[in-house]
A and B are shown apart, each in its own frame.
Chain A
Amino acid sequence: MNGQAWLLLFEGAWTTLWISSVAIAIGVVLGLGIALLRMTRIPFLEQLLVLYVSLARATPVVTLVLFIFLSAPTFGVAMDRNSAAILALTLNTAAFNAEIWRSAFISFSREQKEAALACGMTNFTFFRRIMLPQMITSSLPGLVNEMSFLIKSSPAIAVIGIVDLTRVTNRISAVTYEPLPPILAAALLYMLIIGVLLKLQAIAEKKANRLAM
């Protein structure tokens, strides 16, 4: 392991991080959208979303990435590796996030809604000013937990040839013939990233508990 190898590792870590971050950012918002749509109970749409959530939760990310990357051309969509990876991770994480948001919706207190409506707020103002801030605080621990799960499943994107933090260890060991050091170094970097997220989750939990008091 020399400087060159560490440089490659950091490049891999960067690839993992930016692809995961994009997927997380889209996934959190998309999850909220799906949860909102499910709460409206539009007949056909709701069953469709239930089906999507159930399917996405059962499909391994590896399978999903391969499916999207390999079958996009047959649908006439030109898709490069990175967008296929982002799409797959987003589809996966959005389903889990939707469930987290939905449970925040369901457990929201009815009294506050009645109070807000009695004060003359419109439904939209109530949602934006009263409901959403509390929902964000109460579902943040779950969302951060899902983020660390997403990072943990992100090595799946290596299967379509993206050189992420896992795949880069093969590159390095192909040169040095010593597979153990780069894998251990990659493990260390993953532990750093996920350790930060676990710490954030603990902080978010403390904040959410204060709200519940």
Chain B
Amino acid sequence: MTEWSIIWEARDAFLSGVLSTLLLFVLSVLAAFLIGCVTVYLLEARNLLSRALRIGIDLMRMLPFLILAYLLYYGLPTLGLKPSAWGAGLVALAIYHGAYFAEILRGARIVMPLGQIEAAKAHGFRPGRLYWRIILPQLVIRTRPLLGNQLIYALKDTAFLTIITVQELTAAANSVQATYFIPTEAFVVVIALYWAISICLELALKWAGRFGAKRGFEHV
């Protein structure tokens, strides 16, 4: 049992790893959600910008997350910017998952019935208010299972950032195992922590499902 007592001694490293991962996750997901919502709003208009955004979303869907993180962390210095690993990782997460959120919301926007939108227009809603008050809330409630799934992907993608030297949960496990030579125990603890976080996410998703059902969106 000595290995487990070493793990307990190193609990501070794991705790700061969890907090760092959670901070990255929460900040990036909030930013990504905002990016997704704004992108779908900009896609409402048919102009050059919306076409460029469509291409951007498709590009993100064809790239691995780590390549985007590499582009920002190793590529930006050539253009004169020098982001920190943490900042580059956060921005990469936000942009990448923002594109996925936009794609999910766009899919729901395409199949949305026209009647409500016409009714809102007849009542004098301007495009902006129409989107934020009528369209977006419905899109979010309708796509909540997919959005929740994407949250779990975002959580898992934070682990990639250990490769560009961000100090998060996987990096914490790696440094503990490198110091004490107890890889099995260190990684079992970390995998359990990731599992716990994603179970919490799934519970939150279930709660959101009940909320959606209350609002009459159970047939999704």
Contacts and interface: CB of A to CB of B under 8 A. Distances in A.
Interface of A: 54-55, 57-64, 66-67, 70-71, 74-75, 151-156, 158-159, 166, 169-170, 173, 178-180, 183-184, 186-187, 190-191, 194-195, 198
A63 B170 contact: yes
Contact of A60 (B71, B174, B177, B194): B194
Interface in B125-164: 152, 155-160, 162-163
A190 B64 contact: yes
B191 A63 contact: yes
Given A66-B183, A166-B70, A183-B71, 18 more contacts: A55-B191, A58-B194, A58-B198, A58-B199, A59-B191, A60-B158, A60-B159, A64-B191, A66-B170, A66-B174, A66-B187, A67-B191, A75-B184, A166-B67, A183-B70, A183-B74, A187-B67, A191-B63
Contact of A62 (B63, B78, B162, B199): B162
Interface size class of B (residues with CB under 8 A): 35 or more
Contacts of A66: 170, 173-174, 183, 187
B159 A151 contact: no
Contacts of A170: 74
B78 A180 contact: yes
A179 B74 contact: yes
Contact of A183 (B61, B67, B187, B195): B67
A52 B77 CA distance: 42
Contacts of B195: 54-55, 58-59
A61 B74 contact: no
Contacts of B177: 70
B67 A70 contact: no
A187 B184 contact: no
Interface in B164-181: 169-170, 173-174, 177
Contacts of B64: 151-155, 166, 190
